[in-house]
């Protein structure tokens, strides 16, 4: 009898202190990841579905179905998207590599489907939030985040808050010009960083050098098929001592470093966090970037600057989106 009443008391206490959770969704061009994140940034449940299999409306419906089946006390939803977004209106301007999202009011639509407050932001802003809260940027107030992949994105944290700019689209480090009269860029600009260090353009530089007669073990690794060259193959060649691959990474680091000299002089950050596929190349890239900043940035600005790899990897999008929801709800 005593035991039973203790159990009832224990049960009701448990439901009274039921923890708060946030949903983080990371919609990429290929996959969409969804996670339930607790108040300490820990993912307690996650799922992944293919973005490409659905239209945008179908995708939101599918995600809502997953969430509506959860038995968690969910306070809100954050969504990171691979394109510029207006966090205030909960609207996606467009997706970089998926059609059908233009000017979609994603937050309002998702709230209708789930009854949960929903917030939307660009994926690199979301990654910057994650790294600031629980990753490489913990304990820093002024942080620049850079992601290197098919696109090159940036996130800026100033005095502990994300800087979004007038139209919520600040942070486009990938579209800082690094070459006067350089190649045309998809953004409408010219000579942008992304046009030299985005995945396909790293490959393009390697192919140009090979076509100009340079010898490289890259060609052996792809059995002579240039269309199979990827940044990963270039890295593989670098690791077996290939000189051309080494040159590609040094050039890549220089382009990135030059853009970051401007960023360091402009924002005076404490730390630069770099993530994304080619960040895995490691020392050669990070050392080249750091050396360029140390050579060229202004004296006081560069004194204590650190350039370090991102820590959260693949789950940064989920954790950061959940943190976006938490921050927006707490600041209401």
By CB under 5 A, name the binding residues for Zn ion.
Answer: 175, 185, 187, 189, 192
| Smaller CB separation from Zn ion, 131 or 194 | 194
Kindly state the smallest distance separating residue 194's Cβ from Zn ion, in Å.
Answer: 6
Q: How many CA atoms lie within 13 A of 91 on its CB side?
A: 11
Give the number of other CB atoms < 10 A from CB of residue 252. 24
User: CB-wise, 132 or 175, nearer to Zn ion?
Assistant: 175
* Longest distance between any two alpha carbons in the chain, whole Å: 87
* Backbone φ, ψ for residue 76 (5° rounding): 180, 170
Phi-psi region of 61 (alpha: psi -120 to 50; beta: other; left: phi over 0): alpha
Could you tell me the CA-to-CA distances from 12 to 2, 4, 9, 72 in Å, in that order? 16, 12, 5, 16
Rounded-to-integer distance, Cα 322 and Cα 305, Å: 29
Closest distance to Zn ion from the beta carbon of 317 (Å) = 23
Least distance in angstroms from the C-beta of 301 to Zn ion: 25
Closest to Zn ion by CB, 262 vs 282, is 262
Closer to Zn ion by CB, 189 or 309: give it. Answer: 189
Report DSSP state, residue 11: H
CB 187, min distance to Zn ion, A: 3
Taking the least distance from each CB to Zn ion, the nearer of 158 and 179 is: 179
In the bound state with Zn ion, the residue whose beta carbon lies nearer, of 99 and 188, is: 188
Cβ 188 vs Cβ 182: under 8 Å: no
Determine which helix (DSSP H) or strand (DSSP E) holds 36, and give its type and residue range.
strand 31-38
Q: Which of 318, 321, 283, 281 has its CA nearest to residue 148?
A: 281
Nearer to Zn ion, 187 or 240 (CB): 187
b or e along 226-244 (b: 16 or more beta carbons within 10 Å of the residue's beta carbon)?
eeebbbebbbbbbeeebeb
Q: Are 156 and 267 in contact (CB under 8 A)?
A: yes
Residue with tokens 């600005």: 301
What is the nearest approach in angstroms of Zn ion to the Cβ of residue 315? 28
CB of residue 252 to Zn ion, shortest distance in Å: 16
Task: Select 142 or 150, whichever has its Cβ closest to Zn ion.
Answer: 150
Tell how far CA 40 is from the center of its chain.
20
Min CB(149)–Zn ion separation in Å: 15
Toward Zn ion, which CB reaches closer, 71 or 181?
Answer: 181
Q: What would the two tokens of residue 291 be?
A: 């050396």
């Amino acid at each position: 009898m005593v035991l039973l009443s203790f159990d009832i008391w224990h049960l009701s206490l448990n439901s009274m202190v039921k923890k708060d959770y946030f949903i983080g969704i990371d919609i990429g061009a290929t996959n969409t990841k969804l996670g339930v994140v607790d108040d300490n940034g820990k993912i307690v449940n996650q799922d992944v579905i293919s973005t490409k299999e659905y239209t945008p409306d179908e995708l939101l419906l599918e995600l809502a179905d997953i969430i509506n089946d959860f038995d968690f006390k969910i306070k809100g939803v954050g969504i990171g998207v691979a394109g510029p977004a207006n966090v205030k209106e909960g609207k996606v301007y467009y997706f970089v590599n998926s059609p059908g999202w233009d000017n979609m009011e994603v937050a309002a639509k998702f709230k209708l489907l789930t009854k949960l407050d929903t917030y939307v932001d660009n994926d690199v802003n979301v990654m910057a939030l994650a790294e600031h809260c629980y990753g490489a940027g913990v304990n820093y107030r002024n942080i620049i985040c850079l992601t290197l992949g098919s696109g090159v994105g940036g996130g800026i944290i100033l005095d502990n808050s994300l800087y979004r700019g007038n139209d919520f689209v600040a942070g486009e480090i990938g579209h800082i010009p690094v070459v006067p009269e350089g190649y045309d860029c998809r953004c409408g600009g010219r000579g942008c960083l992304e046009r030299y260090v985005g995945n396909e353009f790293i490959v393009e530089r390697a192919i140009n050098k090979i076509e100009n007669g340079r010898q490289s073990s890259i060609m052996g690794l792809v059995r002579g098929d240039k269309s199979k060259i990827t940044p990963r193959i270039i890295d593989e060649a670098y690791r077996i001592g290939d000189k051309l691959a080494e040159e590609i990474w040094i050039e890549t680091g220089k382009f990135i470093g030059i853009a970051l000299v401007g960023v360091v002089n402009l924002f005076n950050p404490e730390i630069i966090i770099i993530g994304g596929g080619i960040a895995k190349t490691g020392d050669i890239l990070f050392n080249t970037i750091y050396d360029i900043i140390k050579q060229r940035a202004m004296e006081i600005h560069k004194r204590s600057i650190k350039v370090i790899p991102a820590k959260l990897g693949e789950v940064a999008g989920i954790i950061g989106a959940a943190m976006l929801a938490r921050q927006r709800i707490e600041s209401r």
